[in-house]
Every structure is written in C-alpha cells, then in structure tokens.
Amino acid sequence: MPLRLRLFFSGLIVVLFLIPGLALYRELSKRPDIWWTPRAMALSLAESQDRVEIYARGKPLGALLEARQLWIRDETGSRAVAIREISLRFNNWDRVRGGRVPLLLAYAAACGAGAILLLLIATGRLAYRGEQRAASD
C-alpha cells in the first residue's frame, strides 16, 4: 500500500478509534456517588418496605417507632422518634452498573477492532497488490 494511503487510513482509524475510546473513558470515569437517591426524594419507611428492612436488636424499625421505643437525645433533651422523621436514600449503582455492561462491551469491542485495524494498516500487513493483468494480453 502506498505510504500516502497508509497514512490516510491510519489517521482515519485513529479518529474512528477515538469515538468509542472517549465514550468508554467517559463511562468508566463517572463519579460512583452520583447514583444515590437525592435527599429531597428520600423515601419514607413505609414507601421503602419493598426494598429494605431495617432491624434494631432483632426488631423491625417500624415496630420500634410505633411502640415509641426509639429515642433521640439532643441538647434540648430526649424525645421519641416518630415514623415521619425516618427517611431512606438508596444507592442505585447496582442497577445502573448492570444496565451499562452491554454498552461498555460494545465500546471495548470497537476499540479492539480499531486497534487491530490500525496495527494492520500501520505495519503494512494489508498490502495493496493492485490489479494484475491477464497473462494472455
């Protein structure tokens, strides 16, 4: 393959390699703490019962709150904690991570294919042989 074509195709492959490469880097470098439920959207204890159960000394937290057995002591004194004062935030990283796997695999496959193509073109392994004329001409 002529040097000019080899340089052109190498540059093209590098540009095409950067597209999934940068997308893969962006996905893998996201902050892991952004997947928490926002504070303003924290769920009450009753709303979160399908996802979490909290126990204190072997008893469910809801039962302890209803029986007024859970107390908080602060600078104003001690008082029982009400059910409405409890809210929960969830880390949804496990759900997001599972959904990202196919996309990350596709990006990684595209990067691998681009690297192989670049290696083949840059080293001249894809030799351009041109058209050969028939021997009977």
Q: Taking residues 46-58, what's their average pLDDT?
A: 84
pLDDT of 32 higher than 80: no
- Indicate if the pLDDT at residue 35 is higher than 80: no
Q: Is 41's pLDDT higher than 70?
A: yes
pLDDT band at 20 (very low <50, low <70, confident <90, very high): confident
Full 3-state SS string of the chain:
CCHHHHHHHHHHHHHHHHHHHHHHHHHHCCCHHHHECCHHHCEECCCCCCCCCCEECCEEHHHHHHCCCCEEEECCEEEECCHHHCEECCECHHHHHHHHHHHHHHHHHHHHHHHHHHHHHHCCCCCCCCCCCCCCC
pLDDT at 135: 54
State residue 122's pLDDT score: 78
Mean pLDDT for all residues in the chain? 81
Predicted confidence (pLDDT) per residue in 116-126, tens digit: 888 887 787 76
The pLDDT of residue 110: 87
Q: What's the confidence (pLDDT) of residue 136?
A: 55
Average pLDDT over residues 119-136: 66
pLDDT tens-digit map of 76-106: 888 888 888 888 888 877 777 777 788 888 8
The structure's pTM equals: 0.47
Q: What are phi and psi for residue 86, nearest 5 degrees? A: -100, 130
Average pLDDT of the residues in 35-44:
82
